[in-house]
């Protein structure tokens, strides 16, 4: 992959100068940061986030002491040794009290730490109706921000979702729905859970493709939420055509097209649920922003503008694969942080789904991943959980990232003029950053400097914006020159009419001109 | 009557779609040089249309540039058409010689080239909403060329209208066949070359050992 990016970067010949400038700064990152140009080709870019630390179980303050002081602890026993660190952690969640919840799947426990990785909570035993119960390979954790920070745990292998308080007292258990809508042949392995403001609980179940299983506050099964659409491949269209003309019997025998269920989700403050679909076989609905009615809002944007993960040229090679998006997280400004399992990359998009940064890669070094499974963000930090490296990598936003974020926020709020300076700074640091040119162009357009704006939109290769700037520029030119030109034409017409009249009356005589092309030849 | 220079004849032919080419044939006029210049302008037009169109309408992928497609689309297709048409017309007792076909085909392309060049020029002055003006001009040019083209084929071979249409269709089929054979030929030659090269490598290895 790296070699590909280098090759692609070499292609962008016009920006080589800025790249070589950037190279000095990039040197310490263990991967090549890149972004995409107008054509979807990868171009070298600045790192928006810098990998800071790798936190494994040993580095969580208090975990060692806690496990050591537990009854029956024996350092020589493998099972206890594993408990000293994380084992195949599956999920990460940052609660509104700024605690980091780690779902330690291999050790069947939930660990909560503060943001400096001091352990604040250790939950391996839960109390259900006065009896002790343990987890079995839990895969998801969620803390309800609205309701007393209640903890929701997907107890996957026990086929249940637990709602419990801070001490681990189980308040409610969500199990397999008995409704007819939920086919009883299906297993119930809850993987991820979120809760909305109204207390509705959404659970991603591996075997269900119709969307998330949705319960109301009292635990009653409401139905499925936010299913993916079926991708319109040639085969599906063909089947739809045959079904149109087939009899009912034939239709019953034909294969039903089923959409692939989404694999992970997150909820933002507004109550929108963002879903990601991991499968590399589909391109539709890999990332969705679903409103409470179950409608995907991103599908109303121009589909050409909204692509997630690596663009096709990047994986059009035997060395690379199509992105497999495993987790999504919504940042403080509505940024979408999307985690790609196949290459261990984090794609950060702004709230309008424009790519901001690509962070990370696959490998063993700091900032790269073997099996990235979960992502969370807090302020200017991004936390990525790796289930094979058994730890969390923290990224902090770089100076460059700070400027871009600032500019993007101003721009998305409509403060084009205010975003002008930050965008200029971005261009100074990374000449490949296409959105900066668009930002500068829009600011210039607001100042009615259309000619300049056209220049920037041309660099950004943004046709529609160029068209608008061009229209403005043309109007300016017309306003300036239309009157003089019309006056000139009228004057010339009058003069020529006078001359003609004079010639007609024989007062003056015009010399005869022999135009070379008017010659009549043989 | 109709004592026109070669240059004037071009104008006459283009502005008189129905008798222009008959006059041209009657006067045994028409110049290879002018025809070749027209095809060259066609080549320029193809380039301009793809590379110099107004930025607000069309953005060309400018990281790579290959001139071969443009040569093929202008010179290549033109010559292919002329040769195929000539080949077909011999079967149909057409009267046109290779030279005549070459000339009239080129002449009939003039409105098309002109309209698209004007369109390319206008695209630098108009915004997207006004694209319809360019489109109208381009359609008029194209339609005019089609009329001229049929009239030219009709005149040069002295065919009836139906026979002309049939000839044009058959020419198109012949062109497709030609391209197919060319591709086949190229592939086969490639195979032969690879075969020879393999023998060469084999021998050179053996000689070394």
3-state secondary structure A119-151: EEEEECEEEECCEEEECCCCCEEEECCCCCCCE
**Selection from A140, A144, A60 nearest residue A374 by Cα:** A140
Q: Let me know: does A444 contact A453? Beta carbons within 8 Å.
A: yes
ipTM over 0.90: no
Whether pLDDT at A308 is above 90 = no
Boundaries of domain holding A479: 399-515
The pLDDT of residue A244? 81
Q: Which residue of B7, B55, B125 is in closest CB contact with A458?
A: B55
Does A465 reside within a domain? Answer: yes
Whether pLDDT at A4 is above 60 = no
Query: Are the Cβ atoms of B63 and A464 closer than 8 angstroms?
Result: no
The pLDDT of residue A232? 74
Does A428 reside within a domain? Answer: yes
Query: Are the Cβ atoms of A517 and B125 closer than 8 angstroms?
Result: no
Across the range A363-384, mean pLDDT stands at 92
Q: Count contacts between A and B (CB, < 8 Å).
A: 34
Average pLDDT taken over every residue of chain B? 93
> What b/e sequence results for A114-148 when a residue is b if at least 16 CB atoms lie within 10 Å of its CB, and e otherwise?
eeebebeebbbebebeeeebebebbbbbbbbeeee
Whether pLDDT at A315 is above 80 = no
The pLDDT of residue A386? 94
CB contacts of A516 in chain B (<8 Å) are none
CA–CA dist B200, A30 (Å, integer): 47
Whether pLDDT at B169 is above 80 = yes
Does A93 reside within a domain? Answer: no
Residue that wins the pLDDT comparison between A244 and B183: B183
Q: What is the DSSP letter of A225?
A: E
Would you place residue A10 in the very low, low, confident or very high pLDDT band (cuts 50, 70, 90)?
Answer: very low
Residues A236-255: pLDDT tens digits? 788 878 888 888 887 777 76
Does A250 reside within a domain? Answer: no
Would you place residue A7 in the very low, low, confident or very high pLDDT band (cuts 50, 70, 90)?
Answer: low
Average pLDDT taken over every residue of chain A? 86
B interface test, pick of A7, A457, A470, A474 with most B CB neighbours within 10 Å: A470
CB contacts of B123 in chain A (<8 Å) are none
The pLDDT of residue A143? 93
Across the range A316-323, mean pLDDT stands at 69
The pLDDT of residue B196? 96
Query: Are the Cβ atoms of B128 and A464 closer than 8 angstroms?
Result: yes
Does A247 reside within a domain? Answer: no
Does A55 reside within a domain? Answer: no
Whether pLDDT at A159 is above 60 = yes
The pLDDT of residue A149? 80
Residues A479-513: pLDDT tens digits? 999 999 999 999 999 999 999 899 888 888 877 77
Using the Cβ of A464 and the Cβ atoms of chain B, whether some distance falls under 8 Å is answered with yes
The pLDDT of residue A215? 92
Long-range contacts formed by B85-90: CB under 8 A, 24+ apart: B85/B153, B85/B167, B85/B168, B85/B171, B87/B174, B88/B167, B88/B170, B88/B171, B88/B174, B89/B157, B89/B167
Token digits for A519?
């010659």
**Selection from A307, A308, A226 nearest residue A263 by Cα:** A226
The pLDDT of residue A156? 92
* CATH number of the domain bearing residue A422: 1.25.40.10
Q: How many CA atoms lie within 13 A of A396 on its CB side?
A: 6
Other CB atoms within a 10 A radius of the CB of residue A12 amount to: 19
Chain B residues whose C-beta sits inside 8 Å of any chain A C-beta: 3, 5, 7, 55-59, 61, 63, 125, 127-128
B113/chain A closest Cα distance in angstroms: 22
Does A446 reside within a domain? Answer: yes
Residue that wins the pLDDT comparison between A31 and A103: A103
B6/chain A closest Cα distance in angstroms: 9
Would you place residue A105 in the very low, low, confident or very high pLDDT band (cuts 50, 70, 90)?
Answer: very high
Query: Are the Cβ atoms of B59 and A461 closer than 8 angstroms?
Result: yes
A467/chain B closest Cα distance in angstroms: 5
Number of domains in chain A: 1
Which 3-state string (H, E, C) describes A272-310? CEEEECCCCCCCCCCEEEECCCCCECHHHCCCCCCCCCC
The pLDDT of residue A472? 94
The pLDDT of residue A454? 95
**Which of A85-89, A312-316, B3-7 has the highest mean predicted lDDT (pLDDT)?**
A85-89
Q: Which residue of A463, A470, A522 is in closest CB contact with B3?
A: A522
CB contacts of A7 in chain B (<8 Å) are none
Helix (H) / strand (E) containing A405 = helix A399-413
Does A342 reside within a domain? Answer: no
The pLDDT of residue A210? 86
CB contacts of A40 in chain B (<8 Å) are none
Q: Which of A 3-42 lie inside 8 A of B, CB atoms?
A: 11-13, 38-39, 41
The pLDDT of residue A5? 54
Whether pLDDT at B136 is above 70 = yes
Query: Are the Cβ atoms of B59 and A517 closer than 8 angstroms?
Result: no
Q: Let me know: does B113 contact B45? Beta carbons within 8 Å.
A: yes
Token digits for B130?
């006004």
Would you place residue A317 in the very low, low, confident or very high pLDDT band (cuts 50, 70, 90)?
Answer: low
Whether pLDDT at A18 is above 50 = no
The pLDDT of residue A316? 54
The pLDDT of residue A19? 44
CB contacts of A520 in chain B (<8 Å) are 3, 5
Other CB atoms within a 10 A radius of the CB of residue A444 amount to: 22
CA–CA dist A504, B154 (Å, integer): 48
A284/chain B closest Cα distance in angstroms: 26
Across the range A422-432, mean pLDDT stands at 93
């Amino acid at each position: 992959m790296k070699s590909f990016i280098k090759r692609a970067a070499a292609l962008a010949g016009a920006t080589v100068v800025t790249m070589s400038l950037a190279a000095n700064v990039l040197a310490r990152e263990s991967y090549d940061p890149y972004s995409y140009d107008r054509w979807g080709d990868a171009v070298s870019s600045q790192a928006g986030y810098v990998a800071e630390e790798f936190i494994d179980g040993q580095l969580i303050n208090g975990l060692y002491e806690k496990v050591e002081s537990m009854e029956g602890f024996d350092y020589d026993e493998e099972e206890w040794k594993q408990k000293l660190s994380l084992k195949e952690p599956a999920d990460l969640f940052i609660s509104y009290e700024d605690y980091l919840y780690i779902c330690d799947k291999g050790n069947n426990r939930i660990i909560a730490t503060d943001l400096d990785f001091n352990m604040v909570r250790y939950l391996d035993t839960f109390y259900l109706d006065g009896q002790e119960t343990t987890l079995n390979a839990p895969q998801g954790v969620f803390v309800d921000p609205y309701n007393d920070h209640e903890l929701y745990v997907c107890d996957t292998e026990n086929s249940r979702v637990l709602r419990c308080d801070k001490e681990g007292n189980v308040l409610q258990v969500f199990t397999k729905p008995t409704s007819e809508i939920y086919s009883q042949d299906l297993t119930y392995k809850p993987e991820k859970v979120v809760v909305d403001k109204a207390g509705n609980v959404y659970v991603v179940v591996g075997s269900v493709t119709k969307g998330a299983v949705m319960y109301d506050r009292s635990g009653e099964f409401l139905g499925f939420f936010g299913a993916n659409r079926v991708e319109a491949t040639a085969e599906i269209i063909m089947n739809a055509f045959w079904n149109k003309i087939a009899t009912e019997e034939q239709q019953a025998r034909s294969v039903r097209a089923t959409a692939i269920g989404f694999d992970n989700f997150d909820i933002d403050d507004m109550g929108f649920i963002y879903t990601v679909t991991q499968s590399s076989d589909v391109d539709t609905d890999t990332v969705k922003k679903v409103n409470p009615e179950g409608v995907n809002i991103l599908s109303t944007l121009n589909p050409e503008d909204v692509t997630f993960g690596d663009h096709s040229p990047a994986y059009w090679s035997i060395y690379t694969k199509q992105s497999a998006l495993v987790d999504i997280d919504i940042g403080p400004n509505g940024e979408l942080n999307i985690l790609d399992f196949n290459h261990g990359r984090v794609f950060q998009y702004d709230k309008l789904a424009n790519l901001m940064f690509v962070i990370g890669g696959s490998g063993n070094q700091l900032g790269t991943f073997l099996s990235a499974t979960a992502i969370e963000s807090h302020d200017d930090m991004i936390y990525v959980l790796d289930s094979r490296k058994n730890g969390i990598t923290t990224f902090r936003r770089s100076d460059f990232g700070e400027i871009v974020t600032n500019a993007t926020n101003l721009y998305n709020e409509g403060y084009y003029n205010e975003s002008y300076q930050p965008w200029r700074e971005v261009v100074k640091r990374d000449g490949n950053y296409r959105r900066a040119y668009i930002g500068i162009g829009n600011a210039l357009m607001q100042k009615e400097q259309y000619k300049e704006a056209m220049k920037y939109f041309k660099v950004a290769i943004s046709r529609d914006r160029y068209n608008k700037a061009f229209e403005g520029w043309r109007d300016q030119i017309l306003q300036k020159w239309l009157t003089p030109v019309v006056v000139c034409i009228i004057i010339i017409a009058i003069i020529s009419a006078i001359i003609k009249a004079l010639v007609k009356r024989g007062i003056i005589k015009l010399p005869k001109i022999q135009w070379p092309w008017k010659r009549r030849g043989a | 009557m109709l004592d026109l220079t070669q240059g004037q004849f071009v104008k006459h032919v283009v502005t008189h779609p129905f008798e222009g080419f008959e006059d041209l044939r009657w006067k045994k006029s028409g110049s290879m040089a002018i025809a070749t210049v027209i095809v060259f302008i066609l080549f320029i037009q193809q380039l301009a249309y793809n590379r110099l169109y107004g930025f607000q309408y069309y953005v060309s992928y400018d990281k790579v540039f290959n001139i071969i497609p443009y040569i093929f689309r202008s010179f290549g297709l033109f010559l292919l058409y002329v040769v195929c048409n000539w080949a077909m017309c011999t079967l149909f007792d057409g009267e046109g010689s290779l030279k005549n076909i070459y000339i009239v085909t080129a002449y009939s392309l003039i409105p098309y080239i002109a309209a698209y060049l004007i369109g390319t020029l206008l695209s630098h002055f108009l915004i997207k909403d006004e694209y319809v003006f360019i489109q109208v001009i381009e359609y008029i040019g194209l339609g005019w060329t089609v009329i001229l083209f049929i009239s030219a084929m009709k005149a040069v071979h002295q065919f009836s209208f139906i026979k002309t249409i049939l000839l044009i269709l058959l020419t198109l089929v012949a062109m497709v066949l030609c391209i197919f054979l060319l591709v086949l030929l190229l592939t086969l030659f490639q195979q032969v070359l690879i075969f020879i090269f393999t023998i060469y490598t084999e021998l050179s290895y053996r000689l070394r050992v």
